Amino acid sequence: MTHLVNQHAIINGTRIAHGIHGDGAPAVLLHGTPSSSYIWRNILPALVGTGYKVHVFDLLGYGLSERPQDPAIDTSVTGQVTILEGLLDVWGLHDAHIIAHDIGGGIAQRFGVQSPERMRSLTMIDVVSFDSWPSKRTHEQMQAGLEKLIKANDVEHREHFREWLYSTVENKAKLAETAIETYLNFICGLVGQGRLFQHQVMHYDPKHTEEVAPRYAELGKKPVQLIWGADDAWQVVDWAHKLHEAIPGSELHVLENCGHFSMEDQPEKFQPYWPIF
């Protein structure tokens, strides 16, 4: 297991794990849920190899970053924007190319409309938008009540979310051989299980993207590309087309035989899109 984050910074009184790789034009990678910066491990080498200084971090409440006990600390999409802003200051970056996945896309959208001068370009991969989230399956679970899942024993919890993670990819055997245990270890166990619901699931609320959806056209003032798994079961490709239509001048690339975690399914298919613009 090789994590991409090997440094720590205090942002708004909380510890954020981050890392910097390569040299060149600055790029910042934003992961989603229920993952961490680990999801970029097969994408980062190609970015570095094509001339980017890549900055990665684990969102607050995720991965190797602090998972605060205080429920008043905001780990929602909106709350993560201030973490991103703080890290840009730590890194000494006025602006950067932003590459985002899943709810990382929601963070990037809010950041992009609030601080367009700090975003050189935007690449969104299988991201949330409008009221596209939570996914149908997750919404059904939330409607039915999360009490049973929250109180499940470790074995039941782990197996439930193992199945959940398998639904993010087309190549399940590959995920089983590589990353699934790493993802599960972050969201299971004495700390991970409770923090999954506190820092991630309880913030699955489309208000964070619906609030900025009327301003999506503003994102088109900078270069924007959308990269989407054709077989994404969490954010179906219809949402890609809707987002593409909402952002003037944006490019849309649909990757065949890829699910929601398209970077796990076929990371080599991203090679044509670096350099970014």
Residue 137 CA to residue 185 CA, distance in Å, equals 22
**Kind of pairing between the strands at 7-11 and 14-21:** antiparallel
Domains, in order of start, for the chain: 7-273 (3.40.50.1820)
Q: Letter for the amino acid at 24?
A: G
177-190 pLDDT, tens per residue?
999 999 999 999 98
- Name the pLDDT band for 228 (thresholds 50, 70, 90): very high
Helix (H) / strand (E) containing 197: none
83-126 pLDDT, tens per residue?
999 999 999 999 999 999 999 999 999 999 999 999 999 999 99
pLDDT reading at 1 higher than 70: no
Q: Letter for the amino acid at 51?
A: G
Mean pLDDT taken over the chain: 95
12-51 pLDDT, tens per residue?
999 999 999 999 999 999 999 999 999 999 999 999 999 9
Q: Report pTM.
A: 0.96
Residue 150 CA to residue 229 CA, distance in Å, equals 30
DSSP-assigned states of every residue in 69-137: S-TTS--SHHHHHHHHHHHHHHHT-S-EEEEEEEHHHHHHHHHHHH-GGGEEEEEEEEE--TT--S-HH
Angle value at C-alpha 113, between 110 and 114, nearest 5 degrees: 80
Strand partners, 11: 14
pLDDT reading at 144 higher than 90: no
pLDDT for the residue 135: 82
pLDDT for the residue 176: 97
